[in-house]
C-alpha cells in the first residue's frame, strides 16, 4: 500500500503511476454480471490450469505456519491439541462413545473467547438443532480403518460426494466443541484462550448469495465473529443485523475457507482447481483479505491449502483413517483457533470501527513512517484475480471530515478550502517480477 492521493497534495508522482489496463470489473462495480458467466468461467478455468502447472507447490510445514506467535498461546494450543487428539483416538478405536462426548460438550458450544464472544442468547434463539448436530456413523466412516471387501480391496466409504458433506461437517463440529471443552476446563485467561473459533456452516452444497457464477460450495467454514462485521455494499456500508451466520444463507463476504470434497483421492487435482475457482470470489468480496485458506477432503485424505499473491501451497496428506493423520488434522484446527487473525489471511490495517460505524484503512507515509487512518466511504474497485497485486481502490475521507455526500454531482466539495474532501486510496502489493501477460499473473 503506497501513500494515498489527497486532493491537496498528491504524494505519488505520475512517472511511477501504475499504467491503466483493461479489467474485468468497473468503477463502483461489485459484480461481473456485465460479462457472460460462461465467458467469465472459461477465462478463470484457463487461469487456474496455468496456476496449477506453474504456481503450485506441496509444503510440509503449513500447520506450523498457523502456530501461534505468542509462546504462552503456543504452549496452550499444544496442550489442547494433545487432549483433543486423545479424545478423537478413543472414538476411532471405539473406546469412547461419540454421541456422549457431543452431548457433554453441547452446553459449552456457544461459549467463545476474547473479543470474539458470541451472545449465547442469540445462538440459542437462532440456531436450529441441525446446525449443531453430529452424525456418529458418518464421522466414524471418515476416521476409522477401511473395511476390506472380498477381493481384499477397501470398500468405498462414500458412493457420492453428497454423502460426505454431513460427515465432514460433523467432524469439524466435533473438533471445535472439543477445543472449547478443553480450553474452558483449563480456566483459560484472556492471554492463553483461543483467539477465535472456526465453525462450519449449517448448509452444505450451496451457492453463496453474493457469488458471480454458478459454482456450489461443498462445505464452508467461518470465523465466530465474521457475521458481526457490517459488509461493504457498493456505496453504502451496511450492517448485518441477522442471526448467527450458521443459521442464514452463507455469503462469500463471510466465508473464511472452503472445503472441497471428493469421493476418491484420484480426484485430488480437480479438488485443488475447484478451490482456486472459489478463491476469486473470496478476494472479490473480502477487501481485508491478504491471502486465503482452503481444504480438500478426498476420500479420507485431508490437505490444507494457502493461496498467496504469487502462488499456492498444499500440505502433505493428513489421512483421517490413520492416527498420525488425525493428530495433524486436529493440530491444524487448534492452530487456527489460537493463531493471530493476520495468520488467517486478514489485513489488520483494514478494520471496522464500531464506535464510528465505519470501515477504516491505515495508510503509511513512506518518508517518515507516520500513519493516517482513513474512513472508507465506498469501494471503487475490488481484487479480482487469484494472483498478482490484488489491487483495491477505496473512496475515503479523513475522520474529521463531515462531508459524507456520495453524490457525484457534489464532487466540487472535494476541493473545498480546508482540503478535507474525499480521496482515493489504492491498496496493492508491490510490483513482482515476471511476465505481466501470463494468465492470472498480474492484477493491476
Q: How does pLDDT run across 57-66, given as a tens digit for each residue?
A: 998 888 889 9
- CB-based contacts of 288, cutoff 8 Å, min separation 6: 346, 347, 350, 351
pLDDT at 344 over 50: yes
For 112, counting Cβ atoms within 10 Å of its Cβ (0-12 exposed, 13-18 middle, 19+ buried), the class is buried
Name the DSSP letter for residue 431: P
Q: What is the per-residue pLDDT for 84?
A: 95
Q: What is the per-residue pLDDT for 234?
A: 35
Task: Between 2 and 195, name the one with better pLDDT.
Answer: 195
Task: Between 191 and 384, name the one with better pLDDT.
Answer: 384
Largest distance between two CA atoms of the chain: 85
Q: Would you say the pTM of this structure is higher than 0.95?
A: no
Share the mean pLDDT of the chain. Answer: 76
Whether residue 311 contacts residue 318, with contact meaning beta carbons closer than 8 Å, is answered with no
**Looking at residues 420-432, what average pLDDT do you find?**
80
Pairing of strands 217-223, 198-206: antiparallel
Total Cβ atoms within 10 A of residue 176: 24
Task: Between 103 and 377, name the one with better pLDDT.
Answer: 377
Helix ranges, 186-258 (H): none
Q: What is the per-residue pLDDT for 86?
A: 94
| Percentage with pLDDT > 90 across the chain | 43
Distances, alpha carbon 55 to alpha carbons 221, 237, 276, 441, in Å: 25, 35, 12, 10
State how far the Cα of 52 lies from the Cα of 277, in Å rounded to an integer. 12
pLDDT at 223 over 50: yes
pLDDT at 277 over 50: yes
Region of poorest pLDDT, from 93-102, 159-168, 220-229? 93-102
pLDDT at 342 over 90: yes
- CB-based contacts of 320, cutoff 8 Å, min separation 6: 142, 143, 171, 300, 301, 302, 326, 329
Output the CA torsion 242→248→253→256 (10° steps).
120
Q: What is the per-residue pLDDT for 355?
A: 82
| Percentage with pLDDT > 70 across the chain | 66
- CB-based contacts of 292, cutoff 8 Å, min separation 6: 257, 279, 282, 283, 306, 307, 345
**Looking at residues 101-117, what average pLDDT do you find?**
47
Task: Between 153 and 118, name the one with better pLDDT.
Answer: 153
pLDDT per position as a tens digit, 14-48: 334 333 333 333 333 444 445 688 888 998 999 89
State how far the Cα of 290 lies from the Cα of 160, in Å rounded to an integer. 34
Residue 307's H or E segment, with its range, is: strand 301-307
Amino acid at each position: 500500500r503506497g501513500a494515498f492521493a489527497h486532493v491537496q497534495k498528491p504524494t505519488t508522482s505520475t512517472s511511477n503511476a501504475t499504467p491503466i489496463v483493461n479489467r474485468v470489473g468497473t468503477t463502483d462495480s461489485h459484480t461481473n454480471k456485465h460479462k457472460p458467466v460462461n465467458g467469465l468461467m472459461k477465462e478463470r478455468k484457463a487461469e487456474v490450469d496455468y496456476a496449477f502447472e506453474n504456481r503450485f507447490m506441496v509444503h510440509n510445514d503449513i500447520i506450523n505456519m498457523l502456530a501461534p506467535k505468542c509462546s504462552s498461546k503456543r504452549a496452550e494450543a499444544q496442550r489442547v491439541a494433545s487432549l483433543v487428539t486423545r479424545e478423537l483416538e478413543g472414538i476411532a478405536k471405539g473406546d469412547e462413545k461419540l454421541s456422549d462426548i457431543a452431548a457433554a460438550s453441547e452446553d459449552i458450544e456457544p461459549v467463545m473467547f476474547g473479543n470474539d464472544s458470541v451472545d449465547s442468547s442469540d445462538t440459542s434463539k437462532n440456531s436450529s438443532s441441525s446446525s449443531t448436530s453430529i452424525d456418529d456413523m458418518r464421522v466414524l466412516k471418515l476416521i476409522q480403518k477401511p473395511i476390506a471387501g472380498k477381493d481384499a480391496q477397501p470398500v468405498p466409504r462414500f458412493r457420492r460426494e453428497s454423502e460426505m458433506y454431513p460427515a465432514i461437517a460433523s467432524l469439524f463440529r466435533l473438533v471445535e466443541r472439543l477445543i472449547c471443552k478443553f480450553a474452558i476446563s483449563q480456566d483459560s485467561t484472556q492471554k492463553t484462550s483461543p483467539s477465535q473459533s472456526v465453525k462450519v456452516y449449517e448448509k452444505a452444497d450451496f451457492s453463496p448469495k453474493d457469488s458471480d457464477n454458478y459454482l456450489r460450495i461443498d462445505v464452508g467454514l467461518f470465523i465466530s465473529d465474521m457475521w458481526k462485521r457490517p459488509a461493504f455494499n457498493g456505496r453504502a456500508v451496511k450492517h448485518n443485523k441477522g442471526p448467527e451466520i450458521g443459521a442464514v444463507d452463507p455469503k462469500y463476504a463471510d466465508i473464511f475457507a472452503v472445503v472441497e470434497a471428493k469421493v476418491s483421492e484420484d480426484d485430488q487435482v480437480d479438488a485443488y482447481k475447484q478451490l482456486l475457482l472459489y478463491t476469486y470470489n473470496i478476494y472479490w468480496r473480502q477487501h481485508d483479505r491478504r491471502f486465503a485458506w482452503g481444504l480438500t477432503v478426498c476420500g479420507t485424505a485431508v490437505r490444507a491449502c494457502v493461496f498467496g499473491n504469487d502462488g499456492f501451497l498444499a500440505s502433505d496428506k493428513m489421512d483421517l483413517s490413520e492416527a498420525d493423520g488425525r493428530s495433524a488434522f486436529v493440530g491444524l484446527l487448534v492452530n487456527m483457533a489460537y493463531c493471530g487473525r493476520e495468520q488467517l489471511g486478514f489485513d489488520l490495517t483494514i478494520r471496522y470501527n464500531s464506535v464510528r460505524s465505519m470501515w477504516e484503512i491505515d495508510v503509511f507515509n513512506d518518508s517518515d513512517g507516520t500513519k493516517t487512518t482513513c474512513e472508507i466511504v465506498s469501494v471503487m474497485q475490488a481484487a479480482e484475480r487469484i494472483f498478482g497485486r490484488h489491487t483495491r481502490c477505496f473512496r475515503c475521507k479523513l475522520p474529521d471530515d463531515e462531508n459524507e455526500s456520495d453524490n457525484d454531482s457534489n464532487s466540487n466539495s472535494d476541493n473545498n478550502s480546508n482540503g478535507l474532501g474525499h480521496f482515493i486510496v489504492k491498496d496493492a502489493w508491490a510490483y513482482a517480477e515476471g511476465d505481466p501477460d501470463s494468465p492470472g499473473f498480474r492484477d493491476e
